[in-house]
Amino acid sequence: MSTLYSTHSDFLYHDTGSGHPECPERLQHINKALSGPAFAGLIRVSPPLGTAAQIQLIHPHAHLENIQSAIPQQGLHYWDADTVLSSGSLQAALRAVGAVCDAVDRVLGKEANNAFCGVRPPGHHAEPDVAMGFCLFNNVAIAAGYARHQHQLERVAIVDFDVHHGNGTQAAFYQQPNVLYVSSHEMPNYPGTGHPRETGLGNIINVPLATGTNGVALRHQYQTLVLPALNAFKPELVLVSAGFDAHKLDPLSGINLVEDDYRWLTEALLAVADRHAQGRLVSVLEGGYHLQALAASVAVHVQALMAA
């Protein structure tokens, strides 16, 4: 199977300041991990900048204007206590939007069977009119809106295995039954949303995980709840909010996954895509803050994509 890897040097110029967990070194470690001979078969692409029209599939124009006006010419601007802007942040955020939409185009256009987008800043906490939680624009939500609007897909599934609930993605599709959003996440943890009772129009499935949950328990939840829901929905495209911060070494979580758990998750989601979506899957980087664990986890994720 052909796998696309989309990334760009612009992502390294989103500066969040010394000591911030969402740092450029995250992507540097990922790029180094994906540079070895095992990844020679990746289709490597440099994505375009996203457009205002793509952003406005999820965010009102005023949100884009607010981000633009907050970008500092030098130094850092704290949008909130967690979310930091620098002179390179807008270019990086636009490039992330462009990467996910371009990956959707290429996968649906059969240039590749699946894709991994190594982007920064992440996106799944960005609500339609609120940037938060390290996130400016909701990359995966924009990808889903783009697939439906540009390619007229009827059913798009988003699976979010980041350790934090994707409140922004849930908010974007809470009243849109053509997009299924499934999130497994530690609770309690930031941002405090993601209770099982939050179901939208039956298209929102939240799977909270207790602190200390390991891979055996997570796999059970996917086998009994997540995978049956995905197969019943029959998505035409599977999107993945691929956060690797549920790793046992990650400083921002209390979940105890290891690399093989990410391989299993990837293979399980690929099986759904193969069954219902002609194998079409686009994965988008979200969290993951232990540099070595992040790089190793992304490596097994991409290996599974390449082997499908």
The residues assigned a catalytic role are 125
> Taking a C-beta distance cutoff of 8 angstroms, is the pair 143, 96 a contact?
no
The torsion region of residue 298 among left (phi > 0), alpha (psi -120 to 50) and beta comes to: alpha
- Cα angle vertex 279, ends 97, 94, to 5°? 5
DSSP 288: -
CA distances from 30 to 224, 264, 273 (A): 32, 19, 25
- What whole-number distance in Å separates Cα of residue 209 and Cα of residue 215? 11
* Sign of the dihedral through C-alpha 79, 242, 208, 254: negative
DSSP letter, residue 50 = P
Nearest to 118 by CA among 15, 58, 45, 193: 45
